[in-house]
Structure 1
Amino acid sequence: MKPIERVFHAVLFEALAITCSVIGLALFTDHQVSALSGTMIVVATIAMMWNYVFNWGFDRFVPGEKTERSIKTRIIHVLLFEAGLLFVTIPVMAILLNVSLWQAFLMDISVTIFITCYAFVYNFAYDHIRAYILRRRGVISLAADVETVG
């Protein structure tokens, strides 16, 4: 993927994730939607930067056709991404929502469990939809490596 597509991928991912996360946290906590929205926008901004850097590195470490990645590789990808993100976002959530680190951990781990499942589905769908669109445009053949295009 070219850098502009990586940015698109990350922004779309985060926009959908913020919406779902705010709704979930609003249902299960006493925090105002405005406070949760602001917090999740900050967390999403951190996540977008991490998404770009992490996926760039992961793609270098695990090259090849993304649609051919095994379930095991996809699970490892998501777990490593979310672990790195938790390290930064727990203290951020604690400060912004004025809660203890433990409360922030519980909230963040809940969001992370949701996002982990969401990320798996999102990336799987994105990779396959991207390959389909490129094939339909005639940019790649069925046997071509998608990465050679971008």
Structure 2
Amino acid sequence: MSTVERIFHAVLFEFLAIIGSVIGLMIFTDYALASLSGTMIAIATIAMGWNFIFNIIFDKFYTEPREQRTVIQRMIYIGFFEAGLLMLTIPVMAYILGISLIEAFWLDISVTVFITVYAYVYNYAYDHIRARVMLNRNTVALDTQ
């Protein structure tokens, strides 16, 4: 993946994650839309940076094409990514919402459960759609030669 594509991948992921997280938190908590939106935008910004760094590291260990990753490899990816992200975001969530670290932990865990499922679906779909687009590009390029 090129740097531009990694940026696109991360921004699209976080944009959709913010929308889903804010809607879910509005349904299940009493926090105001503005507080939740600000919190999730801050967390998404942290997550984009972490996503970019983590993907570079992960790709060094798993070098086969992304669409060929196994369920186990994807679960390892999600586990390590989310554990690192929790360490970065719990203090931020506590500060912005004015809650304790324990309360932020439980709130962040609920968001993490949603994001974990979402991350698996998003990355699986992205990798397979990307592979099809690349195949179509190569086929069109060969047809025009």
What's the C-alpha RMSD, in Å, of the aligned pairs? 1.1
Q: For residues 112 and 139 of structure 1, what CA distance do their matches in structure 2 show? A: 39
Q: TM-score, normalised by structure 2?
A: 0.94
Q: Distance in 1 between matches of 2:55 and 2:134?
A: 20
Q: CA deviation at 1:66?
A: 1.1
Runs of 5+ unmatched residues, structure 1: 141-150
For 2:139 and 2:107, locate their aligned partners in 1 and report how far apart those are by CA, in whole Å. Answer: 43
C-alpha displacement of 1:91: 0.6
Q: Which amino acid aligns with 1:130?
A: R
Q: Which amino acid aligns with 1:91?
A: P
Choose between structure 1 and 2: higher helix proportion: 2
Q: What corresponds to 2:130 in structure 1? A: 130
Q: Deviation of residue 45 (structure 1)? A: 0.1
Map 1:57-136 onto structure 2 (within 5 A).
57-136=57-136
TM-fit CA distance, 1:71? 0.4
Residue identity opposite 2:66 in structure 1: K
Once the two structures are TM-superposed, the CA of residue 68 in structure 1 deviates from its matched residue by 1.1
Partner amino acid, structure 1, of 2:49: M
Provide the residue aligned with 1:147 in structure 2. none
Q: Can you give the 5+ residue segments of structure 2 that lack an aligned partner in the other structure?
A: 141-145
Who is 1:144 aligned against? none
**Runs of 4+ residues over 4 Å off in structure 1:** none
2:43 is paired with a residue whose SS is helix
Question: Which residue does the alignment assign to 2:43?
Answer: 43
CA distance in 2, matches of 1:29, 1:114: 15
